[in-house]
């Protein structure tokens, strides 16, 4: 909060790795807008005129911030991947629509870049079988086609957003390397979950921080939670930083004493190696008769490794609740232009709208074809094909799915042979055939 007293909000940048996390940070900042002191004055008058839209590129993801500093380009999406397949069918050797995380051609490019390696050098150290059917030779043959398509269509992928931000060009006149993008003029930079940064991202945030005032460049994170080493994050780098932290959050709010003690016994060898020992206290009761006391907890040891006889009921309870549907949706949601959580919930409502349109069709025989198509297209754009299908399966009963199935085939999301036990509504099929 001292930052708001010293610097204007326009000169403070807070970046995270996901839109959901950025939205939560933005919401927390907006909660400060209406805080008042005892005299009735606003505690942070600097925030009074600030809107969420104005903070779109100041509290956002690292990719969004870098992209905002570049010439406008659209993001390479599933549609473009399908267009590439028309140019060269080898892009379809791995039949996967999640081109951001799972398609093995794009994943290899992303992983190599995330580790800061050339294609050749990364091939030596990676799990080569995990990228089948793409070998190094084939990847290098397809890469120029991929690059040319992006250039012709004025597109970028997520690696481009970061690398173009940090790119340098050699000036023949001055005989020096010069930045293509000017260093940001900011006073403070805060990176949330910094331990998830890969090699290019670390380079990018270092560039962002060159002009900060009085060393106000903060990496907020936990080296023990470095989960993305497979894509280029460096646990060793962040453990070395953690050995001498600027500040430390000491109070745990999640785990009772039993879990806390057990976890420390597991991680202690890592702390010893890096000399990065932490104070991590067990959680305490926040209310009730034991408020303020440490939650003790107990350790339960399995007598054997046989699964519970009620495992099926437990799994059904976990999978089929509104809470887990919401968590699944949040995990797979990707909308680069999403400003706040409200847009996420608006996109989530599209499942409800589809159900209403189906009910109206059954009652009136009036089929709002284009409206249903629009809702489905948005769903698959923001949640992905596989995740969107699973969410439709959860939300629709078998009769409703019979009406939606022709739409899915029309959009080429599924094949005619998919969902063989579900019969399609003939009137819907005929209506879709009329669309050219």
Which structural domain, as residue segments, surrounds residue 48? 2-66+184-247
Phi, psi of 170 (to 5 degrees): -80, 125
CA distance 90 to 77: 17
> Are both 291 and 338 inside the same structural domain?
no
Looking at the structure, do residues 230 and 368 belong to the same domain, yes or no? Answer: no
Residue 243 lies in a domain: yes
Distance (Å, whole) CA 347 – CA 388: 11
How many residues in total does the chain contain?
436
The count of C-alpha atoms lying within 13 angstroms of the C-alpha of 189, restricted to the half-sphere facing its C-beta, is: 23
Q: Residue 304's pLDDT is what? A: 65
CATH number at residue 213: 3.40.50.300
Q: 374 in a domain, yes or no?
A: yes
From the CA atom positions of the chain, what is the Rg in Å? Answer: 26
Same domain, 356 and 424: yes
Number of domains composing the chain: 4
Q: Are 340 and 413 contained in the same domain?
A: yes
CB within 8 Å of 218: residues ≥ 6 apart: 188, 189, 190, 191, 246
pLDDT at residue number 297: 80
**One domain, residues 147 and 233:** no
Q: How many CB atoms lie within 10 A of CB 331?
A: 11
Q: Look up tokens 């957003």; give the residue.
A: 161
Q: How far apart are CA 188 and CA 256, in angstroms?
A: 35
Residue 108: the pLDDT is 95
Quick check: is 259 in a domain?
yes
Cα end-to-end span (Å), the chain: 57
**290 is a domain residue:** yes
* Same domain flag for 351 and 384: yes
Angle, in degrees to the nearest 10, between helices 385-395 and 322-332:
160
Would residue 316 count as lying in a domain? no
201 within domain boundaries: yes
Whether 287 and 425 map to the same domain: the answer is: no
275 and 189 housed in the same domain: no
Based on the fold, state whether residues 58 and 190 are members of the same structural domain: yes
Full-prediction pTM beyond 0.85? Answer: no
Residues 206 and 268 in one domain: no
Q: Would you give per-residue pLDDT tens digits along the chain (436 residues)?
A: 667 777 888 899 999 998 888 988 888 888 877 777 777 677 777 777 788 788 889 999 999 999 999 988 999 999 999 999 999 999 999 999 888 888 999 999 999 999 999 999 999 999 999 999 999 999 999 999 999 999 999 999 999 999 999 999 999 988 899 999 999 999 999 999 999 999 999 999 999 999 999 889 999 999 998 888 888 999 999 999 988 888 888 888 888 999 899 899 999 999 999 998 888 899 998 888 888 999 988 766 666 666 666 667 666 666 667 777 888 888 888 876 665 677 888 889 999 999 999 999 988 888 899 999 999 999 999 999 999 998 998 888 888 999 999 999 999 999 888 888 888 999 999 999 888 6
Closest to 77 measured CA to CA, from 174, 158, 18: 158
CA-CA distance, 247 to 2, in Å (whole number)? 15
> Does 383 map to a domain?
yes
Residue 116 shares a structural domain with residue 149: yes
In a domain, 372, yes or no: yes
Q: Do 94 and 233 reside in the same domain of the chain?
A: no
């Amino acid at each position: 909060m001292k930052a708001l007293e010293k610097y204007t909000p326009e000169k403070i940048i807070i970046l995270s790795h996901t839109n959901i996390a950025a939205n939560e940070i933005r919401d927390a900042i907006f909660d400060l807008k209406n805080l008042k002191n005892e005299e009735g004055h606003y505690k942070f008058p600097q925030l009074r005129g600030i809107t969420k839209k104005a903070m779109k590129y100041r509290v956002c993801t690292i990719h969004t911030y870098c992209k905002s500093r570049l010439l406008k380009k659209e993001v390479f999406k599933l549609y473009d991947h399908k267009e590439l397949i028309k140019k060269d069918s080898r892009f379809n050797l791995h039949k996967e629509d999640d081109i951001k995380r799972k398609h093995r051609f794009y994943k290899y490019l992303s992983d190599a870049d995330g580790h800061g390696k050339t294609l050749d050098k990364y091939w030596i150290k990676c799990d080569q079988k995990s990228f089948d059917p793409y070998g190094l030779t084939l990847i290098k043959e397809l890469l120029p086609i991929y690059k040319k398509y992006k250039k012709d269509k004025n597109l970028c992928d997520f690696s481009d957003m970061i690398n173009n931000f940090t790119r340098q060009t050699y000036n023949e006149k001055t005989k020096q390397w010069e930045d293509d993008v000017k260093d940001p003029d900011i006073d403070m930079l805060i990176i949330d979950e910094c331990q998830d940064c890969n090699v290019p991202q670390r380079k990018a945030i270092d560039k962002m921080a060159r002009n900060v005032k009085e060393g106000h460049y903060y990496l907020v994170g936990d080296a023990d939670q470095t989960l993305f080493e497979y894509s280029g994050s460096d646990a060793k780098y962040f453990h070395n930083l953690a050995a001498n932290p600027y500040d430390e959050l000491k109070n745990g709010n999640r785990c009772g004493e039993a879990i806390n003690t057990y976890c420390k016994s597991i991680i202690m060898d890592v702390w010893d190696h890096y000399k990065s020992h932490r104070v991590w206290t067990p959680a305490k009761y926040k209310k009730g008769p034991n408020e303020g006391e440490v939650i003790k907890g107990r350790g339960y040891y399995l007598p054997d490794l046989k699964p519970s006889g009620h495992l099926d009921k437990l799994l059904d309870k976990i999978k089929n609740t509104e809470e887990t549907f919401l968590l699944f949706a949040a995990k797979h949601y990707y909308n680069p232009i999403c400003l706040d959580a409200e847009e996420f919930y608006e996109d989530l409502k599209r499942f409800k709208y589809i159900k209403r349109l189906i009910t109206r069709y059954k009652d009136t025989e009036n089929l709002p074809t284009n409206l249903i198509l629009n809702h489905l297209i948005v769903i698959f754009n923001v949640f992905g094909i596989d995740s969107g299908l699973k969410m439709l399966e959860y939300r629709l009963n078998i009769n409703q799915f019979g009406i939606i199935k022709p739409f899915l085939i029309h959009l080429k999301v599924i094949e005619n042979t998919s969902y063989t036990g579900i019969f399609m509504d003939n009137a819907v099929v005929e209506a879709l055939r009329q669309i050219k």
